[in-house]
Structure 1
Amino acid sequence: MSKATLPTFPSMLRQLAALGERLRLARMRRKLTAELFAERMGISRETLRRLERGDPTIAMGTYMRALRVLGLDRDIDLIAKDDELGRKLQDLALQPPKSRAGSPRTAS
């Protein structure tokens, strides 16, 4: 029985393709051939081809190895570094509830 996979959102496919292209350009700027780059990463040439095309089935560890070989591995630390939405939600939960205008207050 084969494992069911969830469909990948089109926006995610575009992001992965753009990431793969950026990695390909970084490789080329360093004058690394695909064969040498794949060898340094410890992957096959076919896997590298899929990575550079943005294949969503490529493991995160493979992307990490690509970044390491290119000297860009610190860039991964910038992903989700500042959770702006989470902080806003947290701040909203910390605020006391606003009293309703015009509601009479009851004495205790």
Structure 2
Amino acid sequence: MAKIIWITYWRSNVAMPTHKLAALGARLRAERLKRDMPQAEFAARLDISIPTLHKMESGDPGVQVGYWMIALEVLDRAKEVDILLAGQSVSDESAPASRKRASKKNRK
């Protein structure tokens, strides 16, 4: 069974399905690795710290939604938010990558 955490936001309790956030973070990581981009480079492009990027890739519910929007822009996937908000279906084409790290050749 999926783990659920409860968060309080503006005096209302909201169920937060952690497995969905973890899956979203895994897809973000897969997209980064597909582009062979190290965490430091991707974090710099998002103008965030590496620990914040790690939280995003781990599915931490405390990460600001603005960071997610910037990440989608950098990955050229922001149009999918428009589709989602328009009520159309978004395909889940990207499964988590089997790679553990970006290659060292692109590190500076």
> Normalising to structure 2: TM-score of the pair?
0.66
Alignment of structure 1 residues 1-108 onto 2, 5 Å:
5-6=7-8, 9-11=15-17, 13-82=18-87
Aligned position for 1:96: none
Structure 2: gaps (5+ residues)? 1-6, 89-108
Aligned-pair RMSD on alpha carbons? 1.7
Gaps (5+ residues) in structure 1? 84-108
Q: Percent identity?
A: 36
Aligned residues: 78
Instruction: Kindly indicate which of the two structures has a greater share of residues assigned to helix.
Output: 1
Q: Which structure has the bigger radius of gyration? A: 1
Higher strand share: 2
Give TM-score scaled by structure 1 length: 0.66
The structure showing larger relative contact order (alpha-carbon pairs under 8 Å, at least 6 residues apart) is: 2
